[in-house]
Structure formats: C-alpha cells, structure tokens
Amino acid sequence: TLTKEIIQTFISVVRLNLLNRSTLSKSDMVSSQEGDLYSNADETYQRVKTLPHCIQNCRLCVLHLASLDIPADFKQDLQQLMFDLRLECFKVIMDHACLEAIKQAAIAVYRLLADFASVFQILIKDCSSAPSNSIEPLSSSTTMTNSSEHLSKTTCLVIVFNNFVYTRRFILPRLKKIFLNYGFRGMDRVYEEIETIYKRVDEQLLETVQTEYLRPFLHRLEARMYSGRFDWATHMRVTAVKDYVKHIILDLARVHAEIYSISSQLVFLVLSRILSTLVDELVKLYSNINQFSKAGSMQACLDIIALQECLGRCMENETSNKLKTLITQIPEAAENIKSKALTDMLNIFLKQMQPYSIAFRDVLQQ
C-alpha cells in the first residue's frame, strides 16, 4: 500500500509540474496551438532549457521504481508517464526550433532540396576540384567560423567524413531502434535505403580524402627514389635505407597526427587505403627496373623490409602480401634477407625512426 501511494504521488507530482499543458482538452490544444507558439515564446525558451534535464532525472527515478517488485499495472503507468514526458519534451524542442526558424526568416531564406544526398555529392566534387569555403560551416559551428579559417581542405573533409561515419554507425541504428520500439512499421526498408545512401557517400568521401593525401606522395615518390642519379644496376654499396622510405614514413606520421586529432577510429581506415595505393605504385616502379647489381638488390630488399616493419600495422593483409611478393621478385632476395649486414642496417634504421614509427603501433585495425 505504501509503495502504491508513493508511485501514485510521484506520477501526480510529475504530471502536475511538467505536463501542465497536457490537461487541456484536445479541441483546446488544436485551437490554441498556433497562438501558443507566439504568445508563449518566453515560456518555450525557458522550458527548453530545463525540461530535458528534469525528464532525465525523472527517467532515473522511473527506472529505479520499475526495478522494484511492483504490480504490472504500476509499471505500465510509469511507462506511460515516461512516454508522455518524452512527447512533451519533443513538442517543446520542436516549438523552440520553430521559433528560431521564424527569427532567422527575417535574415535568411531557406530552401529545402528534394534530394538531400545530392548536396553532399556536389560538396565532395567541389572539394576535390578546388578549395571551397562552403565546407567550413559543416566542420564547425557558426560561432567558430573565424577559428576554422586555418583548417585545410583535407582536414575539413576528414571532419565531415568522421561525422558521416559516426552517424552511420551509431545514430542511425539508435533511431531505428527507437522507432521500432514505438511501433513504426516499415523501418527495416527505410533503414536499408538510408544505409545504402550513407555507404555510398562515405565511400565517395573516403576516396576524396585518400586522393587529397596521396597527391604529394605520388608526385614525389619516383623523384625521391632516383634522387642523386641513383641507378639500381650500377649501385655499388649499401649504407642505409634510402631517403624515399624515410619520407614515406614521415609524411604518413603527419597524416596520422591530423586524422588522430579528429578521430582515432579513422586512422587505420585512411592510412590503409593510402598505403594500398602507395604499394601498388611501388610495385609498378620496381617492375620497370630491368637490372639489379648485387648492392642494388640488397638495397631494394632493405627498403621494402624497412617499410614493412615500420608501417605493417597500418596495412591490410592484401597490401602486406603484395610487399612480400615484391621482395621475392628481386634477384638474390633470399640471400640478402639472411645477411647480417642487412639486419644491422635495418635495426639502425628502426632505432632512428622509432620516435616517428611509435605512433603506428597503436593503430586499431578494423
């Protein structure tokens, strides 16, 4: 009996204080709906600040009460209370949004596009062809416009890409679950269509980010490999890993830092795509080499193994296997790999690059 009185009192107090407008009849609510939006603007602004927090606290109380050994009809009353609270909160938030839109109407004109996905496709195309200031509002709030001016185009793209990935992985499944819990039908088909659209846009964003980061790599790779008139056929002495490998590692460390500052979950996804294209380009360059000297063969083995050791955690299995296959195609590769000289030079290189390669050790493979 005491539990029943406590629950009934709790429900009455909450309804009286948080759902005061729900006491109106349906006809009164319909007739006064438009007038309330304008006449009670101050009340709406006040309630939108406090109501969500109050409902959150009420939800915790309801969860504790529902966990008790109480009759089923009490639990149903508590569930109905939470439903009414959420509905009231949603209505207040929508009223607040309408008031904000009305205030902004005097300043700007908005036009809703029929195909919203095309907006992002056009945005990606613009970003890949020329710098675009239109992406900055997407990567930061309007109050931080000045602070976002220093962001590069690639960084803005990564921010947008991260927002898309987060929405597809967490927000969409959560929305689907909420709608299903309230009995909305056909959500599976709607969710599949939305998922398809997001996957397509995600892939386009990832390709654009990959292209932006790859451009300096591909433009300089061959020139750095053959700097100083280097020739694989006439190379006489191996002293260390060539500079083009060091540049790849240093440039990827910079890319890692930029992406990690936005989201650690995207590091492997982006770096693995970059390395896949880089390894394909290396395979092409090595396939064009007609002749290796003995030192040239050891140099090639040393460079490839150094790349594998430093960046192996950022590579997909297919990319790593391509490097292993590339080594086997180099003359006298088996003998060079077992040589003590190559092992010593490799260890020296790994020790030198440790401050930079240590960042790649914590890359989370997905």
Query: What is the residue type of 137?
Result: P
Question: CB neighbours (10 Å) of residue 118?
Answer: 10
Burial of 6-30, coded b for 16+ CB within 10 Å and e otherwise, reads ebeebbeebbeebeebeeeeeeeee
Shared domain for 273 and 315, answered yes or no, is yes
- Rounded Cα distance, 104 and 109, in Å: 8
Give me the residue label for tokens 């005491």: 2
Judge if pTM exceeds 0.75.
no
- Rounded Cα distance, 319 and 309, in Å: 13
CA–CA distance from 214 to each of 1, 85, 156, 279, 353 (Å)? 71, 51, 16, 12, 22
Which of 105, 140, 165 marks a domain boundary?
A: 105
Sign of CA dihedral 256, 140, 51, 74: negative
What total number of domains does the chain contain?
A: 3
Element (H, E) at 173: helix 172-181
Q: Look at residue 136 in the predicted model and tell me its pLDDT.
A: 45
Which of 105, 125, 146 marks a domain boundary?
A: 105
Q: Which residue range forms the structural domain that includes residue 159?
A: 116-201
In-domain check, residue 219: no
- Rounded Cα distance, 308 and 324, in Å: 9
Q: Which positions ≥6 away from 85 have C-beta within 8 Å?
A: 14, 18, 19, 55, 58, 59
**Residue 139 has which token pair?**
């990567």
Under DSSP, the state recorded for 236 is -
Write out the chain's pLDDT in tens, 366 residues: 687 888 888 888 888 888 865 444 444 444 445 445 555 777 888 888 888 888 888 888 888 888 888 888 888 888 888 888 888 888 888 888 888 777 776 665 555 556 666 766 776 676 655 444 544 444 444 444 444 456 788 888 899 899 888 888 888 888 888 888 877 777 788 888 888 888 888 899 999 999 999 988 888 888 899 888 889 999 999 999 999 999 999 999 999 989 988 888 889 999 999 999 999 999 999 998 889 999 999 999 999 999 999 998 899 999 999 999 999 999 888 888 889 999 999 999 999 988 888 888 777 666
Shared domain for 161 and 241, answered yes or no, is no
**Residue 38 has which token pair?**
């304008």
DSSP characters for 213-240? HHHHHHHHHHHHHTTTT--TTT-----S
Shared domain for 246 and 346, answered yes or no, is yes
Shared domain for 44 and 16, answered yes or no, is yes
Q: Look at residue 25 in the predicted model and tell me its pLDDT.
A: 41
Shared domain for 139 and 184, answered yes or no, is yes
In-domain check, residue 288: yes
Q: Look at residue 280 in the predicted model and tell me its pLDDT.
A: 94
The answer to whether 363 and 311 have CB atoms below 8 angstroms apart is no
CA–CA distance from 269 to each of 87, 160, 196, 202, 316 (Å)? 39, 15, 19, 12, 9
Shared domain for 178 and 235, answered yes or no, is no
- Rounded Cα distance, 242 and 227, in Å: 10
In-domain check, residue 213: no
The answer to whether 336 and 342 have CB atoms below 8 angstroms apart is yes
Which of 71, 86, 105 marks a domain boundary?
A: 105
**Residue 171 has which token pair?**
């927000």
Shared domain for 127 and 64, answered yes or no, is no
Q: Look at residue 278 in the predicted model and tell me its pLDDT.
A: 93
Q: Look at residue 306 in the predicted model and tell me its pLDDT.
A: 93
Element (H, E) at 16: helix 2-18
- Rounded Cα distance, 41 and 98, in Å: 10
The answer to whether 37 and 100 have CB atoms below 8 angstroms apart is no
Shared domain for 246 and 354, answered yes or no, is yes
In-domain check, residue 19: yes
In-domain check, residue 98: yes
Shared domain for 24 and 151, answered yes or no, is no
Burial class (CB in 10 A: 0-12, 13-18, 19+), 106: exposed
Shared domain for 64 and 128, answered yes or no, is no
**Residue 14 has which token pair?**
């909450």
Q: Look at residue 29 in the predicted model and tell me its pLDDT.
A: 45
Q: How many residues does the chain have?
A: 366
Shared domain for 237 and 357, answered yes or no, is yes
In-domain check, residue 221: no
Shared domain for 190 and 251, answered yes or no, is no
In-domain check, residue 214: no
In-domain check, residue 60: yes
Q: Which positions ≥6 away from 147 have C-beta within 8 Å?
A: 140
